[in-house]
Amino acid sequence: MKLTLCPDHDRESWNARLRDLPAAHILQTWEWGAFKQRTTGWQPHRLLFEQGGEVLALASVGLRRVAGVPVLYAPKGPIFRYDDTELAAQVLDLLQRYARRHLALWLKIDPDIVLATGVPGEPDDTPQPFGQAFQALLRARGWRFSQEQVQFRHTITIDLTRSEDELLAAFSQNTRRKVRTGEKKGVSIRPGTLADLDVLYDLYQVTGARDGFLVRPRSYYLDEWRSLMQAGLAQPLLAEVAGTAIAHVILLHVGQRCWYFYGASSGAERERMPNYALQWAAMQWAKAQGYRQYDLWGAPDTFNETDRLWGVYEFKRGFRGVVTRHIGAWDYAPFPLLYRAYADLLPRLRRRR
């Protein structure tokens, strides 16, 4: 297998190859790499893993410098057949060489490889053989479970290959009732357009202030949402009452999956349950577009009430998806002593902040 760089002008070819691979992820699209370069300075290196002229794997790897030293990160990558142990070893070989060639402090990967499904310790807790094997392969090669988990490790997924009646029937009784409340109480759902970008941000800012999460500047989100919508990779849905937007979701989608990436609400008209109506509309939209899986994007790291995501998890689990636990982010350090010094220093810097 050989490793080649995708030409800088070859956006359509990159995305087409990504869509052809199983487990294609929105964070590995050309547009996502370009967006992060514009807004946060990560220079995308788009790597193709080829054998006999066929692309078997790919990884969009961002590069930037920390205190003058290069670091590399492949968000939700690399992408390949997540049931092929021999291919996995070859991909890791080439990635490790790439990190050494760039004198990187570390290379971080966090592919969407499933370690187990279900809630730990409960009857539905089911280990997944390839995830277990891949994690063992990483450890044997000296990779370390990262102290910095950039993306959500766990999520809840919903199988969209079922009929709408089957999907709705699977919801908890309480969630099904709340889904129907919106329609009964005058909530209408419509697709968002580029003309709605400011409304989307205003609602998101209100939600961030209310719920206490970080909201970046308007220019950041408008750049992201506009570029992905123009590329056909994002779709907002707005919930309105009498023509006034009271809530939204923003769906990102590629390959076989659609993700509920952003959600916001004004806090007004909460008795109409717009967030439940939006989730059902989002699943219907994704199913109609031919996506096979709806990803609710985020579940607790630890499944108890102390976890910061517990309240969101209680909302999401009413839709009765499958709790899906991934291997998380892992770091490869070409120069272990330097990495160890960095890993020891990082917690101290965080404590000072």
Query: Who wins on pLDDT, 134 or 351?
Result: 134
Check which CATH number belongs to the domain holding 61 and give it: 3.40.630.30
Percent of the chain past pLDDT 70, that is, above it, reads 97
As a whole number of angstroms, the distance between CA 26 and CA 288 comes to 19
pLDDT band with cut points at 50, 70 and 90 for residue 114: very high
As a whole number of angstroms, the distance between CA 31 and CA 326 comes to 24
Whether residue 290 is contained in a domain is answered as yes
Please say whether the beta carbons of 301 and 307 come within 8 A. Answer: yes
Output the pLDDT for position 337: 86
For the stretch 125-155, pLDDT in tens is 999 999 999 999 999 999 999 999 999 999 9
Output the pLDDT for position 350: 57
Claim to verify: residue 184 and residue 291 sit in the same structural domain: yes
pTM, 2 dp: 0.95
How big, in percent rounded to 5, are the helix, strand and coil portions of the chain? 40, 25, 30
Claim to verify: residue 175 and residue 54 sit in the same structural domain: no
Output the pLDDT for position 346: 63
Residue 11: domain span: 2-113+128-147+328-352
Output the pLDDT for position 352: 65
Q: What value does the mean pLDDT take over residues 91-115? A: 97
Please say whether the beta carbons of 234 and 250 come within 8 A. Answer: yes
What is the helix (H) or strand (E) element at residue 56, kind and residue range?
strand 54-66
For the stretch 255-294, pLDDT in tens is 999 999 999 999 888 899 999 999 999 999 999 999 999 9
For the stretch 170-198, pLDDT in tens is 999 999 999 999 989 999 999 999 999 99
Claim to verify: residue 231 and residue 310 sit in the same structural domain: yes
